Structure 1
């Protein structure tokens, strides 16, 4: 559970902004999205390989 201490006299929008930033950094959002729909391990592996090929292609283009 995320806890954001709100200081006395602090603007609530500022505290919400800190909460949102901390929420994104903890990757809770990604975990919730992954649990929302089941993906077969073979599909996940294939997506991972495709992403690796894409990144490798970008790195090859940079070195040219």
Structure 2
């Protein structure tokens, strides 16, 4: 459970923004979406490999360019 202490006189929009940032950093929604359906381990591993190759390609382009 996320607890956001609101300081006295603090704008509610600012507190809401801190809550949203903290919620995003906890990655709750990503976990809920991933648990919504079952993915075979081979599919998960393939997606990780594709992502890793994409990141590697970006890093090599950054070094060259």
Normalised to the residue count of structure 2, the TM-score between the two structures is 0.82
1: distance between equivalents of 2:59 and 2:12? 43
The unaligned stretches of length 5 or more in structure 1 are none
- Counterpart in the other structure of 2:17: 17
Residue correspondences, number: 64
Q: SS of the residue aligned with 1:7? A: coil
Q: Identify which of structures 1 and 2 has the higher relative contact order when contacts are C-alpha pairs closer than 8 Å and 6+ apart.
A: 2
CA RMSD of aligned residues (A): 1.3
User: What TM-score comes out, normalization by structure 1 length?
Assistant: 0.83
Cα distance in 2, alignment partners of residues 6 and 63 from structure 1? 44
In structure 2, list runs of 5 or more residues that go unmatched: none
